[in-house]
Structure 1
Amino acid sequence: MSKLIKLSPLLLIGISQMAMAQSETATVSEDEEQGIKEIVVTAEFKETTVQRSSLSLQVLSRDEIATVRRPNDLNALVPGVQIGSSGPNPQVFIRGVGDAARNSRAQSGVVFNIDGVALVRPSAATANFFDLERIEVLKGPQGTLYGRNASGGVLNLITARPKLDETSGFASFEAGNFNLVAGEAAINLPLGEKVALRVSSKIVDRDGYLSDGAQDQRTRAGRLRLFWKPSDSFDVMINADASHVGGKGSGVTTRPVFQNNPWYSNTDTRLLPFPFQFGPGTAPFTAPTDRSIDADLWGVSAEINADLGFGRLTFVPAYRTQKQEVVSFNSNFRFSETVDDRTISAELRLAGEIGDLEWILGGFYFDFKNNAAIYPGQGSFNSSQQFVDRTISKAVFGNAIYSVSETLRLIGGLRYTNEATDGTFVNGRGAPPVIPFVPTSGVNQFAPLEVNKVNWKFGLELDVAPQSMLYATGTSGFKGGGTNSTPCGGPSFGPEDVRSFLFGSRNRFFGNALQVNGEAFLTKTQGQQVSALTQVCAANGAPGPQGFMTFNVGRATVYGGNIDLLWKPTANGSLHFFAEYLKSRADSFSFSQIGAGAYTPAQLSLCSATAGTAPFFNINCDGLPLPRVPTWTIQADYSHKFVLANEGEIVPKVFVQRVTSRFLDIAYGPNGTAPAYTNVNFEVTYTPPGNGWILSAFATNITNAAIYTSGVSVPANAPNGVRYYTAHIEPPRMFGARLQVNF
């Protein structure tokens, strides 16, 4: 806590002194033409505004996410969030907490929710970025209200709701470079006085931006929402969505850069030398031409609300399924995976008020069954595994806010979770469809894993002026454990526990024209889970091939602070500035692996490797910063509305983001540092009188910055004598235009 205590006084005392200086009679007027509008959120299962919330929270409006087509696009909009990719799996980190695993058995550390339903994998959200009302980004553990695997935070996708007594909608068309063609449409239809239906869909076709055509987008998605409100005390929302993701899918480039082109694919055989060249030595994979993704996802859910007088009852049942086949490549290593899973979940909440006490009680049930197979292939080696695993999680929770006075509120929350995971696996050889799978073992049992966790939250909120609040909170969360898949079994890894302490202030000044928010925070992680390419065991227990393993390494600390300024100098102008400082440290970071691998002295890793009982080596990375945690993220944007003589409007907006360097993975090698970058985006929008249509032109990453968001070392030396890295890279300069017709 000492580091946070040193950092927080300047931030909090300074802001609070400005807040105290405000007039006690100041009021917030939404009708003020120049004033900053309030943003309503439901992140705590109730309606409140951002300025009255003590969460570490950032909200993206419908306009801000107009060009967001996939999870990775959030990197340019949300400081502290780093979203990379491995195959089809987005790897989401918030302030150093997340998950870097590379297969379907991963446990995400940041949860995506769509209309209150948790998604098991971030990949399930890939095609759902359309017809959104807003995105709520909750930073830090959310273990009491959101439960398992919200240890790093939560991303809430809030889709547009049906509206009673209104017929409306829109249709948009978008085109741009890399042969981008996209369309989106939605219609809202009243079905009588008490029922409304909203139907929406989106299509995206865009060629890949890597040199071999990888990193393309071929998505089709649709959504239906039916709202029924027979009375003021009862309503039902029924949701259904379906999506398809196809194309070549995700790909990676190399570090160091090859051919002076950061977007040169690691498997482009036209020029790349060994070890990335495919040829007779890697038969039958003589060329990486079958890279692909074929995923079908759908889900149904409901939200039922009933006012019982003494409280409001909410029931959210859901069923989701995902079927997916993926082929991807890492150097001369072919990896294919099939997934067929289903998730059943249900949450029941009761919320109410008793005097000065505002409370919520709830229960949660989660049943996930995964039938999958992984087929890694490297030359003649093609050891594979088919497995079935199941996770059942049950939880009860409660949260309360007690108003001690008109200006002071106390917060408390608890959640108890029981989670059990087990399953079976069959070893074999094969790389379908090239080489059929042939079992080499009988059915084996994964070691069962059961976890019982209690998560907590406490805090206070203090109104120091009518438009200023100080707050302090402590929260905890956990990421579930699991088992790895190797030819000789499934070694398990335990859960990861995260605790976070937050001090902050939210303020409005000068007639609601200036907003000044700030936070200081400290996050402690125990049982930190990491994933890395290490040597695994062969079928007989001897040293085998390279494989990705997840394991617990110890403890870590992240602390820092941010300042968030929003200023409307005129009725038509808006300036937003955000700066975040992060400092991270691996307090206890050690593990054991077969062979020294990336940690041999010749590889110049910052970690140390000492020989243990042969063939194992003990790896120690104590004191190093955590991967994917930049020290500074600074961003600013400015927009200005120009009203034309015909009363039409032109609104240009420029956005600049600066992110400092950071490590890509835990090998900590010389080629594994992602350089600092500056990302510049621009958009201009024209709206004619009447708002019947909107025309926009946009350009992203105007400076063609190389933006790396994830990576891993591969067992081959680069020209500088140490290991290559394969890394996910964001798109180069992209531009286009969008026409939207409203009705």
Structure 2
Amino acid sequence: MSKLKLHGAISLLALSISGTAMAQSAGQGGAASATPPSQPVAAEQAEGGIQDIVVTAQRRQENLQRAAIAVSAVSGDMLKAAGVTNPTDLTAVVPALQVSTAAGPYNLFYLRGVGNFNSNAFSDSAIAFNMDGVFVGRPSSTTGFFYDLERVEVVKGPQGTLYGRNATGGAINVISHKPDLGEFAGEFSAQYGNYDAFRIDGALNVPLGDKAALRFAGIHVKHDGYMNNGMDNQDDWGARASFLVKPSDTFKMVISADYFKQGGNGLGSTPRLAQNGVATPASLKVDDRIDLLSPAGQAFYTGQPNGTLGRNFASIPLPQAQPYLNNHYWGISSTIDWETSVGTLTVIPAYREARLDYASFTPGFYVAEKSKSNQTSIESRFATTDDFPVRALLGAFYYKEDTNDPYSGVNTQNYAYYRNERLSTESKAIFGRLTYAVTPDVRLSVGARQTWEDKGFSGTLRGITRICLTAACPDAAPIPYTATAPAVPGVVVPVFGTPPYGGIISFNPDFSPALIQTEGQIVTNDARKFKKFTWRAGADWDITPQNLLYASFETGFKAGGFFYSADNPATSNKEGVYSPETISAFTIGSKNRFLDNRIQINLELFYWRYNNQQIAHLGVDSQGNIIFPIENVGKGTYRGFEIETRFAPTRTTTLTADVQYLDAKYNNFQYTTPNLNGGLSNGTGCPNAGTPGLAYTVDCSGKRPPNSPTWTINLSGQQQIPLSFGELVLDARGHYQSKTLTGLEFLPIEDQEAYWVVDGAVTFYSPGKRYSVGAFVNNVFDKTVIANTFPTPFSNFYSSSLRPPRTYGIRAGVNF
């Protein structure tokens, strides 16, 4: 075990044994329970009506209907029924959320249109992802948690006070089942379906006397690929162990450890020919699920011209460049609650580690990475009780992350880069919230957070471009798919200035006389400090015990960071640093129950102002190096409403309808991209701002952001049919979204047209629900849905990754 790993584990154990503990938030709403947030939360059945759901989105346990905040809660049973095993599956169950995968393990989160294409280690997600109260910093480390869960909470809108860093658009809270005292119990389920898919998961709860308990849980998910050559398969393993000790009524500690291995060959994609961004008749059809690496995909690929190479793309050598996933994640954390007569103190220390090893052709070109990252965090809060009109919450947060990336590479055959870098982040914050109950039914609250963030970056990027100097170089050799930059013999003549901020040009005698190779190297070592004060003000009013009205204003922020660039700040207004992004959100909402808890109608109106959004894209620096910068791109406005309804006409029937309307627009959106074709087209659906030179300035102001459909609708219904020997349960779900942009080039090829996806299931439960057996169908009508679209550099085609096709199967379970 490394010194760093040992230090993290020892620190975690010491913090756990110390007895300090994290507190629940004083929050808002007079109907909340004073139970510490780590206590298992069970939904309570309202007599003859709709279930009450308890959430901890505001760092305290409270009835979802009394929480003065926009939050969707999905139970563990519903997640399992919907087949959720990774974050991308959440798109079908939470209307406001869009999740997709870029190359390898990188998950892209968008909440009400706010998010970014964070597909490398340099950028952070705009949606905070938390597992059992522990912030997970890397978007590449957000899978592997979706089993043995109590629920998932999706908090909508900036959470700059309670959640802090990287919660620009909101937060996702994944909450696992905790051990139960005094109960020996377990559950096991198995599922089998088409694509030779099976899922096995289970949990075992073991009491240790009357004051302690253990819980073990595990999962194995595997299926064949959804693409025509076996890409888009899955082969994942996960395990979690939790230990609960409660020596008294006022003190409780939970220690959890988990491990996850992500295997398979990763996400595939279909190449699609599109002249000026419009699909041509020769384009492959996404309905056929033809992967780039399949024989048909390679026939298409090798028929397309490759930019500066002067020839068509060469076939991809397999198995040398075979995509794969071999990623490992583990972590340990502790949650301790100590109740006093004046309030509750809680502390959560945690350590997490991720080892990435993958290769991918998802974006239409080769991407590979081997890296290791680790994070240590601790958060402490003290919240007073709700016994007095004035309630307070005070907290502190510390987070440290280190990433060692000895190899990351990209290869488009005529261009390749090879990176070796280290990145570090140290974030500290203090925060608080004060609530004043003007009357027992009317509350005012203010909250604030001060964040200090230090980031460091050092590394080397070596870029290589092969250029044909004549009309064609049919025998030009593409850059080989190797983990290190290929050696280039021959005469070396300096150009572009002096390395490391320049390049060299190599005349290789092995090449055609018309082919040259240019090389550039960027060496960087930088550190920056960021700080931000974020705040919140809110009010809520219990009009009646069943009707809540609330309003709030909150700000959020995400720190800046680095990317490779040879721009000299002394001679250019750019350098390899991007600035923080910020957001301000106005919210008015109402939560209501009618007709003896048989009808629930929740409504929220929101208006968000987004500034300096961070986006990653292909670019070029002032020295002519092709780079992948992260830029701040101006202002955006996001506004709309969401209606969540529940209807329980009988004790055995439940109907739901969740509808979101979103009006989103970039008010000011400009960025630069390389001039790869002499100024004929900037490769986007946006006009140029000025005359093309070495690079374009593209003006996409007025455009609708990606992953922000105007309408999103989720419908579901459940009918329970009592039988003399058990119960039959019928479930149906439907997800609709209007036309959605799936890329950042604003081109028709990137549009996913409006679609419905319908799922259904039937399950039989024995008396007491000890045994169950059922059948399911997801995506009943086999709708092909585009998740992401990537422009392939130096080409006329794009690559689209897809959501799963129709899947069906049977499942059985036992509880004891």
| TM-score, length basis structure 1 | 0.90
1:444 and 2:470 equivalent?
no
Structure 1 segment 187-266 matched on structure 2, within 5 A: 187-255=204-272, 256=279, 258-259=284-285, 261-266=287-292
Letter in 1 for 2:624: P
| 8 Å Cα contact 1:282-1:332 kept in structure 2 | no
| 1:53–1:432 Cα change, 3 Å | farther
Aligned to 1:638: 717
- Partner Cα separation in structure 1 for residue 651 and residue 456 of structure 2: 59
Aligned to 1:685: 763
Aligned to 2:154: 137
Aligned to 2:784: 706
- Partner Cα separation in structure 1 for residue 561 and residue 222 of structure 2: 36
Aligned to 1:40: 54
Letter in 1 for 2:764: Y
SS of the residue 1:65 aligns to: helix
Aligned to 1:15: none
Letter in 1 for 2:632: N
Provide the aligned C-alpha RMSD in A: 2.5
Q: Could you list the per-position Cα deviations for residues 403-448 of structure 1 after superposition, in whole angstroms to 9, with x for gaps in the alignment? A: 1002211121000000111121023479998343589969933432
- Partner Cα separation in structure 2 for residue 739 and residue 265 of structure 1: 33
Larger Rg: 2
Q: Could you list the per-position Cα deviations for residues 92-142 of structure 1 after superposition, in whole angstroms to 9, with x for gaps in the alignment? A: 100111121221222111121110001112332311100001001101111
Aligned to 1:657: 735
The equivalent position to 2:451 in structure 1, one of 413, 417, 433, is 417
Structure 1 segment 385-534 matched on structure 2, within 5 A: 385-428=419-462, 434-436=482-484, 444-485=523-564, 491-532=576-617, 534=618
- Partner Cα separation in structure 2 for residue 671 and residue 37 of structure 1: 44
Deviation of residue 393 (structure 1)? Answer: 0.4
Aligned to 1:565: 645
Q: Could you list the per-position Cα deviations for residues 504-551 of structure 1 after superposition, in whole angstroms to 9, with x for gaps in the alignment? A: 10000001111011111001101111222x2434xxx64344x54321
- Partner Cα separation in structure 1 for residue 183 and residue 109 of structure 2: 38
The equivalent position to 2:753 in structure 1, one of 650, 669, 675, is 675
| 8 Å Cα contact 1:336-1:374 kept in structure 2 | yes
| 8 Å Cα contact 1:385-1:487 kept in structure 2 | no
SS of the residue 2:439 aligns to: coil
| 8 Å Cα contact 1:607-1:619 kept in structure 2 | yes
Q: Could you list the per-position Cα deviations for residues 68-89 of structure 1 after superposition, in whole angstroms to 9, with x for gaps in the alignment? A: 1111111110001111111211
- Partner Cα separation in structure 2 for residue 262 and residue 284 of structure 1: 21
Letter in 2 for 1:82: Q
Deviation of residue 667 (structure 1)? Answer: 1.1
1:375 and 2:448 equivalent?
no
The equivalent position to 1:666 in structure 2, one of 711, 732, 744, is 744
Deviation of residue 308 (structure 1)? Answer: 3.3
The equivalent position to 1:161 in structure 2, one of 171, 178, 186, is 178
Aligned to 1:171: 188
| 1:697–1:641 Cα change, 3 Å | same
The equivalent position to 1:62 in structure 2, one of 51, 55, 76, is 76
| 8 Å Cα contact 1:598-1:715 kept in structure 2 | no
SS of the residue 1:343 aligns to: strand
1:364 and 2:397 equivalent?
yes
Letter in 2 for 1:436: T
SS of the residue 2:688 aligns to: strand
Letter in 1 for 2:110: F
Listed as ranges, the gaps of 5+ residues in structure 2 are: 1-42, 273-278, 465-478, 488-498, 501-520, 569-574
- Partner Cα separation in structure 2 for residue 574 and residue 64 of structure 1: 13
| 1:217–1:485 Cα change, 3 Å | farther
Identity fraction in percent: 31
Deviation of residue 331 (structure 1)? Answer: 6.4
SS of the residue 1:224 aligns to: strand
| 1:455–1:271 Cα change, 3 Å | closer
SS of the residue 1:629 aligns to: coil
Q: Could you list the per-position Cα deviations for residues 370-394 of structure 1 after superposition, in whole angstroms to 9, with x for gaps in the alignment? A: 0013111222643211000101000
SS of the residue 2:713 aligns to: strand
Aligned to 2:342: 310
SS of the residue 2:326 aligns to: strand
SS of the residue 2:769 aligns to: coil
SS of the residue 1:338 aligns to: strand
Structure 1 segment 21-32 matched on structure 2, within 5 A: none
Q: Could you list the per-position Cα deviations for residues 239-265 of structure 1 after superposition, in whole angstroms to 9, with x for gaps in the alignment? A: 100110111012222444614635222
The count of aligned residue pairs is 703
SS of the residue 1:447 aligns to: strand
| 8 Å Cα contact 2:462-2:522 kept in structure 1 | no
- Partner Cα separation in structure 1 for residue 460 and residue 334 of structure 2: 37
Structure 1 segment 338-357 matched on structure 2, within 5 A: 338-353=370-385, 355-357=388-390
Larger deviation, residues 346-355 vs 571-580? 346-355
Structure 1 segment 569-580 matched on structure 2, within 5 A: 569-580=649-660
- Partner Cα separation in structure 2 for residue 331 and residue 607 of structure 1: 21
Deviation of residue 475 (structure 1)? Answer: 1.1
- Partner Cα separation in structure 2 for residue 61 and residue 46 of structure 1: 18
Larger deviation, residues 488-497 vs 521-530? 488-497
Aligned to 2:295: 269
SS of the residue 1:569 aligns to: strand
| 8 Å Cα contact 2:392-2:435 kept in structure 1 | yes
- Partner Cα separation in structure 2 for residue 267 and residue 399 of structure 1: 54
- Partner Cα separation in structure 1 for residue 689 and residue 676 of structure 2: 8
Aligned to 1:536: 620
1:319 and 2:333 equivalent?
no
Larger deviation, residues 412-421 vs 98-107? 98-107
Larger deviation, residues 573-582 vs 274-283? 274-283
SS of the residue 1:436 aligns to: coil
| TM-score, length basis structure 2 | 0.82
SS of the residue 1:72 aligns to: helix
| 1:290–1:116 Cα change, 3 Å | same
- Partner Cα separation in structure 2 for residue 474 and residue 310 of structure 1: 29
- Partner Cα separation in structure 1 for residue 53 and residue 45 of structure 2: 14
| 8 Å Cα contact 2:522-2:564 kept in structure 1 | no
| 8 Å Cα contact 2:644-2:658 kept in structure 1 | yes
The equivalent position to 1:105 in structure 2, one of 107, 119, 122, is 122
Aligned to 2:108: 91
Letter in 1 for 2:482: V
- Partner Cα separation in structure 1 for residue 287 and residue 373 of structure 2: 38
| 8 Å Cα contact 1:599-1:609 kept in structure 2 | no
The equivalent position to 1:626 in structure 2, one of 682, 688, 705, is 705
- Partner Cα separation in structure 2 for residue 223 and residue 40 of structure 1: 23
SS of the residue 1:690 aligns to: helix
Deviation of residue 464 (structure 1)? Answer: 1.2
